[in-house]
Every structure is written in C-alpha cells, then in structure tokens.
Amino acid sequence: MNALDVTYVPELPAHDLEIEEINAEAFGPGRFVRAAYHIREGGPHCRDLSFVALVDGAVIASVLMTPIAAGEGRALLLGPLAVRPAYKNLGIGRKLVAIALEAARKDGWPLVILIGDAPYYMPLGFNKVVPRGQLQMPRPVDPTRVLACELVEGALEAFVGEVVHADQARTSSARATHIAAE
C-alpha cells in the first residue's frame, strides 16, 4: 500500500458501524469510563469536522471532533483517533489530525483540546499542556495528557472551568437564564 491508496473524506452516517469497530479494536471496553467518552455522551459530534480514511471504500481510520464548553469558552474535543492495526505507522492518523485541524480553523473554531500522549500530538500542533487546575474533567485525567492546539492565539486562556459537551452548556445556560427571569 502507498499513500495514493488512502482517501480522506468527511465522516458520513454510513461510516458509523466501521468507526465503532475501529474504536472497539483500538480502545476496548475501557473507553466507556474515560473522561473524554463521558463528555462526548452529552451530545453529537461535528460530522463535518470529523474524517475517515478509506482504502477500497473501507474505513481504516477515523478522527472525531466534538463541540465542548468550559465556562464561557468554546472549543472542539479531538478524539477518538483510531487506526486499524494493519495501517498503523504509515502517517494516516497524523494526516487525519491535520485535516481535522484545518477544517476546524476554516470553520472558525478558536481551540482544539484532547487527552492524549504529548510525544505523538505535540508535533501535530498540540503544543500547550493545559495548566493544572484550569479545567475540571468529569472523570480523573492525568493533567499532563490534556493538550491544546490554539487556532486563535490566546484562546486557551478563555477556556476555564468544568468541561462539558457544548449542548450541555447551552442547556445549563438556558436553565440559568430562565431561573434568573422568574
């Protein structure tokens, strides 16, 4: 296989089953107890900012982007990023991250956060470790693994507090506004 055999396209509903299989293969059942998974349970991800890699029409890798909030800040949560074992170490995951970050930039997002390995993600633009205590995750997370890619300089400073799916923040905000109006 060479790089010309891989096609990168936006994720479609037709890819869901294969993406779930890849994530199960890569992360196992333990993925359901992780902080990032808990955040993603709060609402849908952005299909137009999530991508798959295809070989002969079959999904061999994927990356998802989910809208999140912390306080007044808004960002995207990158992940999961997963590549089928037969296609690892070929640069496919790195290419998917680059495509997703560029799409987020074009769509006007100021910040992308992830929970992952610094040696892998820092060369891809996640060059900031989120300061300890700046974010509160819904489950325990090693703070050295919470990384940020600022698409707008200084965006990380505004991203402070409890991290939730953006839909959950809107619900809480609307509820607070309603209570204040009573």
Residues 148-164 as b or e (16 or more Cβ within 10 Å = b):
bbbbeeebbeebbeebb
Domain borders along the chain are 3-181
For the chain, the distance separating the N- and C-terminal CA atoms, rounded to the nearest angstrom, is 64
Asked if residue 166 lies in contact with residue 74, where contact means CB atoms within 8 angstroms, the answer is yes
Residues of the chain with pLDDT under 50: 1, 173-182
* pLDDT recorded at residue 25: 84
Superfamily of domain 3-181: Gcn5-related N-acetyltransferase (GNAT) (3.40.630.30)
| pTM for this predicted structure | 0.87
* pLDDT recorded at residue 18: 92
